[in-house]
Amino acid sequence: MRWLDKSAERTARNIAQRTSRRGFFGKFAGAVVGAATAVPLLPVAKAQENSAPAEEGDSNSCEYWRHCAMDGFLCGCCGGSVTSCPPGTEVSPITWIGTCTNPVDNRNYIISYNDCCGTSSCGNCLCQRNEGDRPVYNPRVANDINWCLGTTSAIYNCTLAVVIGTALDE
């Protein structure tokens, strides 16, 4: 068995001469950092952040809670939905922002009223609730404005109502 001991010792010495602790820890640390960036952190917190609020009601009705500050044609009645533009139209990146109370949880949410642009006015489900609207001579706080700005076409078609976050309590 002495030959086996000798052979094992030789092999161990060979490996020790060809490798270093620093090299090993360098590779180990690289693997740990790589894994941390590949695996998303805090999946539970992210899931909550991205989750939509619980809600009820007909999103094609002007009475729907998200439409409290709406001025326009509801995209859900025009071939799109409350959050997506009808085919052939493009969403405006510049929007009118409102704050509406969701009756299900009684919390205030920030709603972005993005206009969809590119084909002529839809004409269905006109909704003008205008909560918080001010005269157009103050365009920063007015919703009676064609927000088809920064889009290929300035022709207004309909308006979305997208929840973009919760409003801070007063």
Contacting ligand ABN within 1-60 (CB under 6 A): none
169 assigned to active site: no
Binding residues with ligand ABN: total (CB under 6 A): 9
Nearest approach, Cβ of residue 139 and ligand ABN (Å): 11
For residues 92 and 117, the answer to whether their CB atoms sit within 8 Å is yes
| Interaction pattern, residues 106-145, with ligand ABN; x per rule: CB under 6 A | ---------x----------------------------xx
Q: Which are the contacts of 122, defined by CB distance < 8 A and separation ≥ 6?
A: 73, 75, 77, 78, 79, 86, 157, 158
Task: Give CA separation, 78 vs 140, 158, 160, in Å.
Answer: 27, 7, 11
Q: Which are the contacts of 124, defined by CB distance < 8 A and separation ≥ 6?
A: 73, 74, 77, 78, 158
Q: Which of 65, 115, 133, 147 is catalytic?
A: 115
Nearest approach, Cβ of residue 144 and ligand ABN (Å): 5
- Sequence letter at residue 169: D
Alpha-carbon distance 157 to 119, whole Å? 6
Nearest approach, Cβ of residue 146 and ligand ABN (Å): 4
Alpha-carbon distance 153 to 45, whole Å? 39
Q: Which of 71, 80, 85, 160 forms a contact with ligand ABN (CB under 6 A)?
A: 71
Contacting ligand ABN within 140-159 (CB under 6 A): 144-147, 156, 159
Nearest approach, Cβ of residue 145 and ligand ABN (Å): 6
Active site residues: 96, 115
Contacting residues toward ligand ABN, per CB under 6 A: 71-72, 115, 144-147, 156, 159
